[in-house]
Structures are given as C-alpha cells and as structure tokens.
Chain A
C-alpha cells in the first residue's frame, strides 16, 4: 500500500544519491566523462524521487492515516486542510524530509545549467551536494522515519516500519495534532523560507569546494554562484523576518526576537552569509579577499548544518523545543568531518588564494569591506559564544551557566551600530587610495543633514544616548544613500538628456546590483528605526477594569466595552473582548483582543488586538475575565513606537534583493553609454 510505496521511493532516493557520489568519483578517477554525466543525471533524478516520497507523506497527513506515528503526532481531525499539509514540517521526521526535498530541488536546478565552460566543477559540485543530501536522507531513513507505524505486540506497544513477528497493527481514531500555537499563517511560510535559505547556501559551498579541489581559485566560482548566493540570502533573511513577525503576532509579549538559542542558530549563518555576500564583490572587482571568501562560505555551510542540528537535537533548552533524539551526535559528526575536510582543502590551496593586489589605505573601499567582514565575524563570535557557553561552562566548571538577552544586546549593540555607520560611508569610498579628506568631501553634505535630524530629535526631548546614536546613524546612512542615488540620477539625466523622473527609473537598469544594494541598505536602515523605537521606547501598562472603565498609556485610552464567549467549529472556545481606543480624546477605533481555548489539546492561546500605524502599534491583550458575571476583565497594553518601520523596512529590503538579483539591461548604444559612463565616473572619484 501507499506507505510502502513512499518508503520504497525513499530507499531508492538514498541509493541514487549514493550512486551519484560513487559515479562522480569513478568518473574523475578514470577520467571518463560519461560517468560524471551519469552522476549528474542521478542528482537530477533525486528530485522527482523525493517529490514522490513527500507527496505520499502529505497524502497520508491529509487523509489522516493515524497508524503512522508521525501522522498521529502532528495532525488530528480538527485541523483544517492547509494545516494538515504544513504539518509536514511540524515534526522532526517530516522536517528532515522536507529539508531533503528542498535540497534536491536546488541541486537539480543546478544540474540543469549549461556546464560546458565549467566541466571540471561538475563532478565536485555533484559530490558535495549529494553527500549533504545523502546525509539527510540517511537521517530520515534510519533514524527519524515518517513511515514508522504503531504495532501491538504481546509485550506492549511499539513503533516499527514493518510488522514485527506476532504483532498486530494499531489504527488510532484520531491524532494528537499540532500545538495550537503553531496554527497560524506563520507556520505555512516561516519554516519553508528558513529551510530554503539554509538549503540554497549548499550550492555556493559546493562550487567553492569544486574551486578548491580543481585549483580554479580565480573568481569564476563566485561569478557562477552570484545569483544563488543572493537568492539564498534572500530566503534566509525572509525566514528570519517572518519568524520575528510571527512571534510578534502570537506570543503576546509584544516582542519579536528573544535571543533564543534556536533563533540564534538561524541567525549565525545569516551573519556569515551577509559578510560573504559583500566580500565576494571585492574578489570580483579587485581579486582580494580570496581566503576570506573561502572561510566565509565554509563557515556558512557548517553553520547551516549546525543550525539545523541545534534545532533538532535538544542540546539546548529553548522555547522552540523539539524532542531529543539520537541524531544529535550524528549531526555533530557530519559537521566535524565536513568542516575538517573543507578546512584541509583550504589550507592545501592557501598559497593559490593570495590576493591579486594590495590594500594601501584604511579608508579605501576594500579596507572598509574588510572591517565589514570583521564586524560580522565579531557579532557571530558573540552569538556563538552565547550559545556554546552553557555547554563549555558545564564541562569546565561542572556548573551550567547561561546568558540571556542582555548579554547579546550589550555585546552586539555597538557592533551593529558600527555596521550601520559602515553601511553609510562604504558606498562613498573609493577604490585604492582614500583619505579622510576625500571621504570627507563626499560625506559632508549628507552629514550635515544627519546632524540637523539629530538636533530635531534632541529638541523632541529624546535624551537616551543609545537612542540618540541610533537616530543619528539612521539619519546619516539614509541621507548618504539617498544623496548618492540622487547624484547618480542627476548625472544620468544630464548625460542622456532624459528627464529626472525617467533617469530615476532607468538608473538601476545599468547596475542593478549596486542600486539594489542601496535599496537593501535603505530597508535595513528602516528596520533599524523600527528596532530603536520598540527596544528603547516601548511602554506598557496593565489593570483590571469594569465595562466602561479605561486604561491609559502614552496618550491612548483603552475602554472596556464588553466580552463575548462562544464556541467555534474547529474545536475551540473563544472569549473575545471589545475595547474602544481613543487618542488624545479622539475616538480612533475598536480592538478585539481574545483568548482561544482548544478543547482537545487543553491549550489556551492569547491573541492580541493591535492597532498599527507607521507611528506606532497599540497592542492590547486580554489577560483574564470573570466568566459568569462578566463584570471585569484584566488587560495588558503595550505601546510600541515605530515598530512598523521594522516590517516596512523588511519589505523594502526584499524588493531591493529582487532588484539586485535581476539581470542588468542590455547595454545602450555606444555613444549614450560613453557619455553616461564619463558622467558617473566623475561622480565616483
């Protein structure tokens, strides 16, 4: 029956990936291209195979085959269809399979590109990709198999793939289902985005290894994977932002990032990935940082697997807890082995990775990018230390010591601020020789604007040093970025005779990576604005009030109107309060904070009523109420200034990434191009 069909496809996928690895090695050894080609086809084949496995599992989830322990644990009858499908990544076994499926999708896409110019890379890319895939498939097949079933034996109950002797299958009538906290649109999109981000970083890594092995240590491998890296980075960033948004919507503490070990686990590859994304530009343009780039991509790959390990093995206590399992040590072993091999390859080719030039000036663009790398590594070191600290302290002192959010905030705050500053001045810097004077000349106009903004902020009464520094940096970096874009638009308009508006629109077409980058930076700056608002200026209040009474916070008045309690068909009881919201005396609307209670799971969930504007969020939680008399209710209210700039900034960020990834326009006719080139060249130096 269908379960065994899925299992069979899983076994075949695993064998095919092993074959692909073997065929690649054999083809390399024997110098027989047809074996390498066969390996390439094997890699291509893994995708439809694993798709079959996944579809089978999804079918079993949707039709409620609770005799499978995985289906039993993540679904039940009261869950709507879309949640039953997304339950695929609601538990360990399905998650690992989903990871494998995504990896197979990407590696297959890679096989489909034209390999003519880079034939020597192909076998190594196949090997690295399939080794990773085979590892994950082996975890699914041998340790966390979603096709395990329940059996009743004479001695008790157990789980197994095939019927043990003398055992009888068990067919539960209903499953356990996912925790209600996971029944949110965030569940549909956050894990897939994060996994997509993780998985797609395997491709640049595979090419990097190929480059090391074949000795092609020029920037060919970087140019080939340029878009992959951008796409991987986009997904990872999206995944992180969506997680933050989900937490903000659902967890009811008015926050979006808790420095939880699992959050950090996903954040670390983003840090090294972002450094990598920037650093490769220097290798492309100047032939420098070759060793840095290798280190960064190796780190990113290891951190991706490490991140998957941290969330899966139960090694750390975290609110994102998953069942402890034997796969922890396997993950560690895999990371250890791959890291050591990659490092060995790097050291072998160390001398070939010498830079093609020198850095002379501390303020040159190359140098600023070096500081960029160092800062990202610094933040990474802080995160890594915070995560490792409990394990190390226990090993060394016998006493387990952990660090919480204050550690991370204090240790990374200054570094993030420095990065914001760098983000501002780096686009203005020149290649090669640069001094304070040349940089200053480019800087002074936007710098004045930023000081004006700072004065305004001071005049508004802000006194906290971190806030002042933060606002100044936001103003500084956005002023420079907009100024740069404006200058380039003006230069283009002058050179081509286009109107300003047309020049504004067409400017990015010639160099989407640069201007997309500017847009991304603007997005980051907006996000920083949101972070400053909510971190430094959040206020809260709470109280128990009768209908007609109110709570006040930061100019807002929240008045309790009434509360209704009713049952909903998907198995929950809803207690919904209605509150009126006024601001400075004016009525601005109503909010509906509520408390859901899921009968089967005996689990309650608090869902805030939120009023959002660009200026702030008013976030109201129904904390408690008197069921019988409906006399009074307890509310908690948060005021989160500027928080929506965080989400808007993320949107701008995403758009910028699309822009940067889009292929550049075809070059214009020679004369017009030469003219605009000269004009922009004058601007840059």
Chain B
C-alpha cells in the first residue's frame, strides 16, 4: 500500500493548484484560527487575574473592589489561625516585591521572605480562606493567593497556593571539621 502510492506519485509533480481549488482550505484554516483567537481573547478577559503586591492592596482606595486579584506575600507564622471544625483559615501576609529582579537584588527569595516577616514596619494584610490548610503553610512561606479584596480590607482568597519550598541553596551549614 505504501510503496504503491509512492510509485504512483513519483511519476509527476503537478504544478501549484489554482487558487480556486485551494480557497476552501484557506477559508477553513482562517476560520479555525479566528475561532482560536476568539476563544483566547474572551477567556482571557473574563478570567484575567491582576498580580498585585500587598503594598498595592493596602494602598487601594476601592478601585480594585470586585476584581479577581492574585497576591503574593510572605506568611507570618504566628498569625496562622486554623478553625479545623469549620475548615476556615486566617493568616497574615507581609509585603514582598513583585519583581523578580528586585527579589534577586535583595538576596534571593528566601532572604526576601525572611526580611518581610521580621520587619515590623512592613505592610501586611489579613487573608481569609475557606478550605483545608495546605501542608506547606508555615512561617516565611510564600503564599500566592487568588481572590478578591473585601471592603473591610481583608483579602478573601478563593485559591491558595504555597510555593514548594526550594532548599535555600545560599544557606551554608555549620562547620564541623576542617580536613580533607
């Protein structure tokens, strides 16, 4: 079957098809492309989440109300309150820079998280979350939350992601012995 087909084809190479014959394929392709673009645009506008920092949330005067927001912050361990009976979680996060370059400039993510939590002048925001407390939630973890900012200044998270802890590779252990 394969070889028979091939033999038949190698006999001639037809010239380019007239545009008339190809138009339906071009039209089909264009339609599919248009459909895809439509799907992307409508889904993106309907589901866009604005990436904000805690500072921006605290400073907001109401313009962010009702919008889907995504916030990243450093978890303050002492503030974690978990009501296991009702499966609801309250904790406070401190501001960390949103920009990766800034994070690098301040010595890496681990350092930034640590600074954020230990700095008493840092802006913080309270987070309410209805759901099972994630295993990774602890002091100095990075929480990435999606939800809305309430009028009371509390962030109501619908989705709570904790960054899988990187082994802070800058940390150098204590010395034990010095020998080769």
Interface residues of A (CB under 8 A from B): 1, 66, 69, 72-74, 91, 150, 152, 157-159, 168-173, 176, 178-179, 181, 252-253, 284-287, 314-315, 317-324, 354, 356-360, 362, 367, 370-371, 374-375, 378, 381-382, 385-386, 389-390, 394, 399-404, 406-408, 410-412, 414-415, 542, 544, 602-606, 621, 623-625, 632, 634, 636, 677
Residue on B nearest A73 in the bound complex, by CB: B167
Contacting B13 at CB < 8 Å: which of A152, A356, A390, A605? A356
Please, which residues of chain A bring their CB within 8 A of the CB of B168? Answer: 323
Contact B164 A602 (CB under 8 A): no
Known contacts A74-B167, A542-B87: does B9 contact A170 (CB below 8 Å)? no
Do residues B164 and A403 form an inter-chain contact, with CB atoms below 8 A? Answer: no
B49 touches A402 (CB 8 A): yes
Number of A-B contacts (CB under 8 A): 200
Q: Of A169, A358, A382, A604, which one neighbours B135 at CB under 8 angstroms?
A: A604
Chain A residue contacts of B176, Cβ below 8 A: 170-173
- The answer, yes or no, to whether B95 is at the interface (CB within 8 Å) is no
Complex CA gap A287/B12 in Å reads 12
Question: In the complex, what distance in Å separates the CA atom of A323 from the CA atom of B104?
Answer: 11
Q: Is the CB of B44 within 8 A of A66?
A: no
Complex A-B: 14 CB contacts under 8 Å = A150-B173, A172-B173, A176-B171, A179-B164, A286-B5, A315-B100, A362-B25, A401-B48, A403-B49, A406-B43, A410-B43, A411-B39, A632-B85, A677-B1
Is B19 located at the chain interface by the 8 A CB criterion?
no
- A606 near B48 with CB under 8 A, answer no
Q: Which of A403, A624, A632, A636 contacts B44 (CB 8 A)?
A: A403
A-side contacts of B28, CB under 8 Å? 362, 367, 370-371
Q: Is there contact, CB below 8 Å, between A324 and B108?
A: yes
Chain B residues with a Cβ under 8 A of chain A: 1-2, 5-6, 9, 13-14, 16-17, 21-22, 24-25, 28-29, 32-33, 35-36, 39-40, 42-44, 46-51, 70, 72, 82, 84-87, 98, 100, 103-104, 108-109, 132-133, 135-136, 138, 144, 146, 159, 161-169, 171-180
Q: In the complex the two chains form, what is the Cα distance from A522 to B179 in whole Å? A: 62
Secondary structure at the A interface, as helix, strand, loop or mixed, is mixed
Tell me whether B14 and A358 are in contact (CB under 8 A).
Answer: yes
13 new A-B contacts at CB < 8 Å, known A172-B173, A173-B176? A74-B167, A157-B172, A159-B172, A170-B173, A170-B176, A323-B169, A324-B100, A402-B70, A403-B48, A406-B46, A411-B36, A605-B135, A625-B84
Query: Is the Cβ of A407 less than 8 Å from the Cβ of B36?
Result: no
CA distance A91 to B169 in the complex (A): 10
* Residue of A172, A318, A402, A603 contacting most chain B CB atoms (<10 Å): A402
Do the beta carbons of A317 and B72 come within 8 Å of each other? yes
- The answer to whether A152 touches B40, judged by C-beta atoms less than 8 angstroms apart, is no
Residue pair A359, B144 in contact (C-beta under 8 Å): no
Instruction: Find out whether the CB atom of A634 lies under 8 angstroms from the CB atom of B164.
Output: no
